[in-house]
């Protein structure tokens, strides 16, 4: 399918989604969200794909929800269409998604990055939730995910002031997993995604599920849940292959079974 607002490229077992509204700093309008949702669904269904990367361009990952598109909404229209709810579809993907962020990741852009499984940041990355300056508040999980990722005091400061955080501060705060040179960002994100895609996909799904469960459970419930999933991995052919390959000092040949 031809998309207008995203570019989709297949890189071996990885799909690279490039947000593509550069003249609007990749502002997230409804078309882009629909197209990204469609692309992610296709990648989920494609047996040859094991992971995804979402990126933007050198100036912006995404500068937020499209202010021009939403400015005339009323409470009734926003509420009745359940505005923004579609975005959450990203979080139901089972295959890992890496956000590769350079430039601005603001408002909905920061929220989109946080919906991914982890964020790799280029040195130029700037994160922020500036909605308060527009007379609104974050609406795609910013107050919830940022608070869980970087602690309440920092999240509160960012949400109440709209202050931006650079890549270095974002790494120190735990928002991003690694900071890379801008020129290496996308290639390193694809390499990382490729390394995940070459593992046993059922185990990758279980690992992702288990880490995500830690946000929804108490510690003892989470540990119990993890243990059960761990037990279930012994039903996989890939578990036998992984352990035999280790003992035989060779690379495993996972079959996703
Ligand atoms: N929506 C719509 N258009 C946007 C946009 C956005 N979020 N962000 C930037 N643009 C557009 C600008 O209007 C401009 O378009 P025109 O050339 O047609 O005027 C173009 O992108 C370039 O932007 P600037 O000229 O402003 O670029 P700059 O380098 O001077 O500033 C910036 C960059 C600081 C990121 C500034 O663009 C900015 O503050 N953008 C808005 C950031 C923001 O408030 N985001 C939150 C949106 S609300 C939200 O996301 C709600 C939610 O939680 C879901």
Quote the tokens at residue 45: 């269904």
Is residue 45 within 8 Å of 93, Cβ to Cβ? no
| pLDDT at position 2 over 90 | no
Q: Indicate whether residue 65 lines ligand 1 (CB < 6 A).
A: yes
Check 111, 113, 125, 142 and give the catalytic one. 111
Q: What local confidence, expressed as pLDDT, does residue 76 receive?
A: 97
Q: What local confidence, expressed as pLDDT, does residue 168 receive?
A: 98
- Summarised one tens digit per residue, pLDDT across range 150-183 is 999 999 999 999 999 999 999 999 999 999 999 9
| pLDDT at position 1 over 80 | no
Q: Indicate whether residue 108 lines ligand 1 (CB < 6 A).
A: yes
Other CB atoms closer than 10 Å to residue 76's CB: what's the count?
Answer: 8
Other CB atoms closer than 10 Å to residue 33's CB: what's the count?
Answer: 22
Q: How confident is the model at residue 107 (pLDDT cuts 50, 70, 90)?
A: very high
Quote the tokens at residue 67: 């202010």
* DSSP 8-state assignment for residue 78: H
Check 35, 131, 188, 226 and give the catalytic one. 131
Average pLDDT, the chain: 97
**Is 135 one of the catalytic residues?**
no
Q: How confident is the model at residue 123 (pLDDT cuts 50, 70, 90)?
A: very high
Q: How confident is the model at residue 240 (pLDDT cuts 50, 70, 90)?
A: very high
């Amino acid at each position: 399918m031809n998309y207008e607002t995203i570019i989709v490229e297949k890189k071996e077992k990885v799909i690279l989604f490039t947000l593509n509204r550069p003249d609007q700093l990749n502002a997230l309008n409804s078309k882009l969200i629909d197209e990204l949702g469609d692309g992610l669904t296709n990648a989920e269904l494609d047996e040859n794909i094991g992971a995804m990367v979402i990126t933007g361009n050198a100036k912006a990952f995404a500068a937020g929800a499209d202010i021009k598109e939403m400015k005339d909404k009323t409470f009734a229209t926003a509420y009745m269409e359940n505005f923004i709810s579609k975005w959450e579809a990203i979080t139901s993907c089972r295959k890992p998604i890496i956000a590769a962020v350079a430039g601005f990741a603001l408002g909905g852009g920061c929220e989109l990055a946080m919906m991914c499984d982890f964020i790799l940041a280029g040195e130029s990355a700037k994160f922020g939730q500036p909605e308060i300056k527009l007379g609104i508040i974050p609406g795609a999980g910013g107050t919830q995910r940022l608070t869980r990722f970087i602690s309440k005091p920092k999240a509160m400061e960012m949400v109440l002031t709209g202050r931006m955080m650079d890549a270095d501060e974002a790494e120190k705060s735990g928002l991003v997993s690694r900071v890379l040179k801008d020129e290496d960002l996308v290639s390193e994100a694809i390499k990382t995604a490729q390394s995940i895609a070459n593992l046993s996909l059922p185990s990758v799904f279980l690992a992702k599920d288990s880490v995500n469960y830690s946000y929804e459970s108490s510690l003892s419930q989470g540990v119990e849940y993890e243990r059960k999933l761990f037990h279930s991995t012994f039903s996989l052919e890939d578990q036998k292959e992984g352990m035999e390959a280790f003992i035989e000092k060779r690379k495993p040949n996972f079959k996703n079974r």
